[in-house]
Amino acid sequence: MTTTATGTTGSLAADPVTVLGLGDMGSAIARAFVERGHRTTVWNRTASKCRPLVEAGASAAATPDEAVEASRFVVVCLLDSAAVDEVLGSVTSSLAGKVLVNLTSGSPSQARSNERWARERGAEYLDGKIMGDPPDVGTSNVSLSFSGSRSAFDAHEPILRELGGVAYHGEDAGLAAVEFLAQVAMGYELLIGFLHTLSVVHAEGVEVEAFAERVAGSVAAYPPLLTMMGKAIGSGEYGPDLGSLRVQAALMDDLISHRESLGVEAVRMREVKELMDQRIADGHGGQGFSSLFELLTKR
């Protein structure tokens, strides 16, 4: 039996949806569906978190089974893959003909395993990964990557777009997680380099805040460079981006010795220098920075 604040069910839009998991993100997703007029059924392990959604117009299900039975379109947004396994593993009602959209963060292999699990039960599976904050769900500040069933994506793209910007990466269910992890990793790779650089600036007695502002201006040059490097790697034609490796390698010695003289970690600079030296030794000293990719893929 489902309950709503008004006692009504089925009077809203034609596409009923179910949301399993009402943490910060799941609640924001459920609220977006309610606000857009979907008959929304929610379930959460801690039942009290259903109350604000019920007050907004959703129906609360007492069990995952009951929630799954309420809609053909079922969204899962739990803490992690262990929670997904636990909750979906407890579902005994039929999943045949359902569309299961898992918006829980996780790995590509977990997504592929979920896809097999859903397919064996006759459900279509879409794996989705969210970039953005819960309060921004329903706006273009949130972007969602999807992979898995193409037909499910095509049929339900309008509903998915109600949550934010969407992109479909392919039938391999793991691809949305690949995209998500790579995008997140890119941020961390960049930011740890930024923090090490700030520690160099700090060690030299330069004001960190003012430097950060200056460097924020100079990184504006990077987006075109990233695109150009991607093209060079795609084509295997490595022009001298950032200058030739021979010239860049000479500069690396200064960067390394400067860091070491200040007692600042130089591990990444040494890695870059090592790769440049190898590439030069292999006869590619006239090529640019993007050509180091060739060595990374051989490791």
Minimum CB separation from ligand NDP for residue 27, in Å? 7
Q: Helix and strand tally (H, E) in the chain?
A: 12, 8
Interface with ligand NDP by CB under 6 A: which residues?
21-26, 44-46, 49, 77-80, 83, 86-87, 104-105, 130, 133-134
- Is the CB of 113 or the CB of 197 nearer to ligand NDP? 113
Decide if 134 contacts 196 (C-beta within 8 A). no
Minimum CB separation from ligand NDP for residue 35, in Å? 18
DSSP3 helix / strand / coil % (the chain, rounded to 5): 55, 15, 30
Minimum CB separation from ligand NDP for residue 51, in Å? 12
- Cβ-closest residue to ligand NDP? 23
- Is the CB of 21 or the CB of 57 nearer to ligand NDP? 21
Minimum CB separation from ligand NDP for residue 78, in Å? 4
- Is the CB of 28 or the CB of 152 nearer to ligand NDP? 28
Minimum CB separation from ligand NDP for residue 69, in Å? 18
- In sequence order, what E strands does 245-297 have? none
Ranges of H-type helices in 121-174: 150-161
Tracing tokens 């997904």 back to the chain, one arrives at 84
CA angle 65, 53, 80 (to 5 degrees): 55
The first and second tokens of residue 28, run together, are 């924001």
- Is the CB of 35 or the CB of 282 nearer to ligand NDP? 35
φ, ψ at 6 (rounded to 5°): -95, -10
- Is the CB of 146 or the CB of 238 nearer to ligand NDP? 146
